[in-house]
Structure 1
Amino acid sequence: MEGQLETRWRTVGRAVVHQGRVKLVDHEVLLPDGSRSQFEVDESVPFSVATLVVDGSDVLLSRQYWYPLDRWIYDLPGGGGRQDEEPIAAARRELEEELGLVPNDLRHLHTFFMNPGRASWPTHLFITTGDFKPGCADTSDPAEQVKLARI
């Protein structure tokens, strides 16, 4: 409603309800009308990254099986950031881990919220345009086997 002040909700309680591969936190909030509500929020990572990799007329994607979907999909290489790293460092790390590429030129495109109704973290989108060298893909996690796909 144009012209009206947009009031933020106030957190009055929070409790970790699950801590594993996913961290779910139950938030109790006070709404502007004085009523209360509950939200389970995924606070697993501080942020995520994804990188658009353009190599000439090709786009390089990751090809990976995702258990929650029960299927193989094409995806932008990326993943969760760590508390002690900047988003650009996480994007570099994820590109090398997933596709075995070390970008020389990595530019930030946009920051957005992928699932704001359930997760609290922003996603930082980057682009690299063929200026990269071979690195070493990380194949140590058997639950995360990623293949490079050229489209």
Structure 2
Amino acid sequence: MKNPWTTISKKEVYDNPWIKVEEHQVITPTNKQGIYGKVSFKNLAIGILPLDENEYTWLVGQYRYTLDEYTWEIPMGGGPADQTSLESAQRELKEETGLLANEWTEILKIHTSNSVTDEVGYVYMARDLTQGETEFDDTEDLKIRHLPFKEAYEMVLNGQITDAISMAAILKTSILLKK
């Protein structure tokens, strides 16, 4: 489909090692002048749903500064441009849970908030797992839960898990497990 938007100009208004924010002067699809703010992430969003032979998974709990609340999520992080999404997923799983996986399946490509950002995320299911040591980042104070996948699914349904990537990964995995 042809893009109905016309970009008149773009201006960078903020830049740091993780994001860039631009203000665009535009003509909207209804032919009106307007502005559009765009947030570009400098890393891919990476999520991993580890699943063992007994259909148990791992969740990561942490205090999220931007939300000012504690959350439970699947292991996740940023994927630098010099790594493939799979390499980033393997690194993140090891860092946050200590797990190594022999089997990796990409289960999702997701746009996290396509109204204001061009961020793309990739989610992998990791299986055939071996437990090792975690390697938390300096900024991480994580709690790890090993629980039945069904319980993680219930946490999505009852609102205990609200992270969009985690919710999408858990809901899709529940469908894949029923096949």
**Pair in the same fold by TM > 0.5:** yes
Cα distance in 2 for partners of 1:52, 1:108 equals 10
Can you list the C-alpha shifts for 1:48-101, whole angstroms capped at 9, x where unaligned?
Answer: 111111122312111111112222211011122111121111111111111111
- The residue that corresponds to 1:99 in the other structure is 97
Cα distance in 2 for partners of 1:106, 1:11 equals 40
Number of aligned positions between the proteins: 145
- Provide the secondary structure at the position in 2 that maps to 1:137: coil
- The two structures have a TM-score, normalised by structure 1, of 0.82
Cα distance in 2 for partners of 1:136, 1:8 equals 51
Gaps of 5+ in 2: 148-179
- The two structures have a TM-score, normalised by structure 2, of 0.71
- Normalized per residue, the structure richer in helix is 2
Cα distance in 1 for partners of 2:26, 2:40 equals 16
CA-atom RMSD in angstroms: 2.1
- 2:106 and 2:125 in contact (8 A); partners too: yes
Cα distance in 1 for partners of 2:4, 2:92 equals 34
1:126 offset after TM fit, Å?
A: 0.9
Matched to 1:145, the amino acid is: D
Question: Which region of structure 1 is more displaced relative to structure 2, 28-37 or 64-73?
Answer: 28-37
2:5 is the counterpart of 1:12: no
2:4 is the counterpart of 1:45: no
The verdict on how the C-alpha distance between 1:53 and 1:9 changes in structure 2, with shifts beyond 3 A counting, is same
Moved beyond 6 Å, runs of 4+: none
